[in-house]
Amino acid sequence: MEETRKGMLLVVSGASGTGKGTLVSRLLKEDPSFVFSVSATTRAPREGEVDGVHYHFLTEAQYDELLAKDAFLEHATVHANRYGTLKEEVYSRMEQGQNVLLDIDTQGAFNVMAAAPDCVSVFILPPSYAELKRRLEGRNTERPEDIERRFANARQEIPLMDRYQYIIVNDDLDAAYAQLRAITLAEKQRSNRYFPVVPEA
Ligand code: 5GP
């Protein structure tokens, strides 16, 4: 059947250590209609992170230049580093019918919700604060003060969950992923995004 689709803007937030990254990577791998919006950041790359794939890693001066050019759809300072969603990562792809996934913090998410009210928003929760702390400490990629900052940030962000359309508790990765998949499958079929043409024969 002939059909056209309008791209979905999927905003996913959740504290570091909730398994958000794993859920997002799995969705991108299993559903090629989704593309990841690579954010700009002034944070230093972690081991294994690739410039242009995980983030566009920028100097403060490069980031300021983009800000001055109005290149960001939203931007925020998170854990003392600057992060921003680039307009060019989002709009052209949505026009082509691709679904664009943003992995951004709550400040950025609220700005996107205001600018793009038809976005789909999902908040990922840890099963408990104790488990979140364990996961953060187990990562071994962060300094103790960074772990503390990320944990404190989670305590601030989690009470904002009701401003998102959907909430997923990541207690069991497969179950959490099944919920994310169900949300995206249903949202793709909304009549404001999906336009099939019924043939005569
Ligand atoms: P991390 O340093 O662990 O990669 O990310 C830290 C936080 O910054 C996460 O909550 C992540 O979702 C958020 N983040 C990443 N990119 C962006 C962005 O472009 N804008 C905003 N507002 N937050 C972002």
Angle, helix 20-30 to helix 173-188, in steps of 10 degrees: 50
- The CA distance from 87 to 79, in Å, is 23
Q: What is the tens place of the pLDDT at every residue in 9-32? A: 999 999 888 999 999 999 999 999
pLDDT at 142 over 90: no
Other C-beta atoms closer than 10 Å to the C-beta of 91 total 15
| pLDDT at residue 139, as a whole number | 78
The pTM assigned to this predicted structure is 0.93
| pLDDT at residue 84, as a whole number | 96
The preferred substitution site among 9, 25, 105 for testing ligand 1, maximizing ligand atoms within 8 Å of CB, is 105
Task: Find the 146 Cα to ligand 1 centroid distance in Å.
Answer: 14
| pLDDT at residue 159, as a whole number | 96
Q: What is the tens place of the pLDDT at every residue in 149-195? A: 899 999 999 999 999 999 999 999 999 999 999 999 999 999 999 99
pLDDT at 141 over 80: no
Per DSSP bridges, beta strands 81-86 and 72-78 are antiparallel
Q: What is the tens place of the pLDDT at every residue in 29-42? A: 999 999 999 999 99
Closest CA to 20 of 146, 118, 161, 117: 161
Q: What is the tens place of the pLDDT at every residue in 47-102? A: 999 999 999 999 999 999 999 999 999 999 988 899 999 999 999 899 888 999 99
- The CA distance from 156 to 99, in Å, is 29
Segment 102-109 mean pLDDT:
95
**85 CA closest ligand 1 atom index:** 19
Q: Give, using CA atoms, the residue closest to atom 2 of ligand 1.
A: 43
